[in-house]
């Protein structure tokens, strides 16, 4: 059984939700025309990755009228959109979240980034749980950028039954080697697919490196783009390939629950 996914990237405009939604609609439309059922967009794409512009007042609510066009394209094209934004949870609490738009056009925020980094820690409230998205019989683990730096995050998704790991991301220019090693490793660690959507270009004072990619269960690159904007790549995920990889390289199945106490040997 296969599932066609797309990783899409484009420059995000700091604080301009309407402009970013319009770009997202174009990206989703292109992906849908290429047969994608799931479309992943970069980290904070809808509201912008710009700490200087973050505020609780400017964060999205899930009933924001500006999301209407994204709901319409998801419904019209019958695709699942995995986007990301600053989401207002309370007057003084905002999360860095996955904003999910389903084929009925319904908007939700099922996952909040758990492993915040840098300036994110000063503003966002970290998430308190993992999440998995079920689409057409596939279990898709959800993560956001720095979550993928921690092997146990993808392990938790795979242990829960995920056969792919979706990660909206925003890596700063110069961090390409860390980005590429981390997500290939998460795929190989667990014998699952990894779909990365990377933010490119300038947002506020920051420069991002893009690098959207799909990795197969052996950690090999199926499709990748560099820093271009806009760009859409598509790939077919094959559940049989997950089964073959996990049978031939059963690292996930053989992972020990505990390694025991440590012994110090002094010579």
Where exactly are the structural domains of the chain?
A: 2-254
β-bridge mates for residue 232, sequence order: 8
What is the structure's pLDDT at 83? 98
- pTM beyond 0.95: the answer is yes
Residue range 2-254 forms a domain whose CATH class is: alpha beta
The share of the chain scoring above pLDDT 70, in percent, equals: 100
The pair of structure tokens assigned to 98 is 């996955």
In the predicted model, what is the mean pLDDT of residues 36-50? 98
Question: Long-range contact list for 239-247, CB < 8 A, 24+ apart?
Answer: 239/1, 239/2, 239/138, 239/163, 240/1, 241/216, 241/217, 242/163, 242/191, 242/192, 242/193, 242/217, 244/217, 245/191, 245/216, 245/217, 245/218, 246/191, 246/217
Residue 71: is its pLDDT beyond 90?
Answer: yes
Residue 227: is its pLDDT beyond 90?
Answer: yes
Burial class (CB in 10 A: 0-12, 13-18, 19+), 233: buried
Confidence of residue 91 (pLDDT cuts 50, 70, 90): confident
Q: Which residues contact 135 (CB under 8 A, 6 or more apart)?
A: 3, 37, 38, 80
Confidence of residue 90 (pLDDT cuts 50, 70, 90): confident
Confidence of residue 23 (pLDDT cuts 50, 70, 90): very high
In the predicted model, what is the mean pLDDT of residues 171-181? 98
Q: Give the tens place of pLDDT for each residue, 95-142.
A: 999 999 999 999 999 999 999 999 999 999 999 999 999 999 999 999
Compute the mean pLDDT over every residue in the chain, rounded to the nearest whole number. 97
What is the structure's pLDDT at 157? 98
């Amino acid at each position: 059984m296969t599932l066609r996914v797309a990783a899409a990237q484009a420059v995000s405009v700091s604080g301009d939700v309407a402009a970013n939604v319009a770009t997202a609609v174009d990206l989703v439309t292109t992906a849908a025309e290429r047969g994608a059922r799931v479309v992943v967009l970069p980290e904070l794409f809808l509201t912008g990755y710009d700490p200087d512009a973050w505020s609780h007042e400017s964060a999205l609510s899930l009933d924001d009228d500006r999301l209407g066009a994204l709901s319409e394209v998801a419904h019209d094209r019958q695709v699942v959109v995995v986007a990301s934004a600053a989401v207002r949870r309370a007057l003084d609490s905002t999360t860095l979240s996955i904003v999910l738009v389903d084929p009925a056009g319904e908007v939700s925020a099922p996952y909040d980034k758990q492993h915040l980094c840098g300036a994110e820690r000063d503003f966002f409230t970290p998430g308190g749980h993992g999440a998995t998205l079920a689409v057409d019989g596939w279990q898709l683990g959800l993560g956001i950028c720095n979550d993928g730096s921690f092997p146990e995050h993808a392990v938790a998704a795979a242990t829960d039954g995920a056969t792919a790991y979706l990660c909206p991301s925003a890596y700063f220019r110069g961090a390409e080697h860390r980005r590429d090693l981390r997500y290939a490793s998460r795929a190989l660690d667990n014998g699952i697919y990894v779909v990365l959507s990377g933010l490119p270009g300038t947002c506020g004072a920051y420069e991002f490196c893009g690098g959207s990619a799909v990795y197969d269960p052996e950690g090999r690159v199926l499709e990748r783009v560099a820093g271009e904007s806009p760009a859409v790549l598509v790939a077919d995920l094959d559940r049989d390939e997950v089964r073959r990889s996990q049978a031939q390289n059963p690292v996930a199945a053989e992972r020990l629950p505990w390694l025991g106490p440590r012994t110090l040997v002094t010579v």
